[in-house]
Amino acid sequence: MGMNMLTEFIAKKLKTAKYKLLEDGTYFGHMPSIRGVWGNARTLRDCKEELREVFEEWLIIKIMNREKVPGFDFKVDRRLLVKQ
């Protein structure tokens, strides 16, 4: 799996994110096609960064568990995975 392919997938998915200003003055962001991945922060910039981080972590867990990721086809060579 090339890093460029992964980076492009993340960027493409983040372009689908929806953001809104909540009544308490914070921002909430989510990607409608990825259930359970969301961010919340005081500024829009921080919300976008948090959403990116949460999405990356979600994606890594999916890949490590060999779970299907909508719109992303990958093969993982388990021999290359190193436990630390």
Q: Torsions phi, psi of 63, nearest 5?
A: -65, -45
Q: pLDDT tens, 7-16?
A: 888 999 999 9
* CATH code for the domain of 55: 3.30.160.250
Q: Which two three-digit tokens encode residue 17?
A: 């994110």
Q: What is the pTM of this model?
A: 0.79
Report how many domains make up the chain: 1
Burial class (CB in 10 A: 0-12, 13-18, 19+), 10: middle
Sign of CA dihedral 71, 17, 30, 6: positive
Q: What value does the CA radius of gyration of the chain take, rounded to a whole number of Å? A: 14
Q: pLDDT tens, 25-60?
A: 999 999 998 989 999 999 999 999 999 999 999 998
Q: Can you give the residue range of the structural domain that contains 30?
A: 3-80
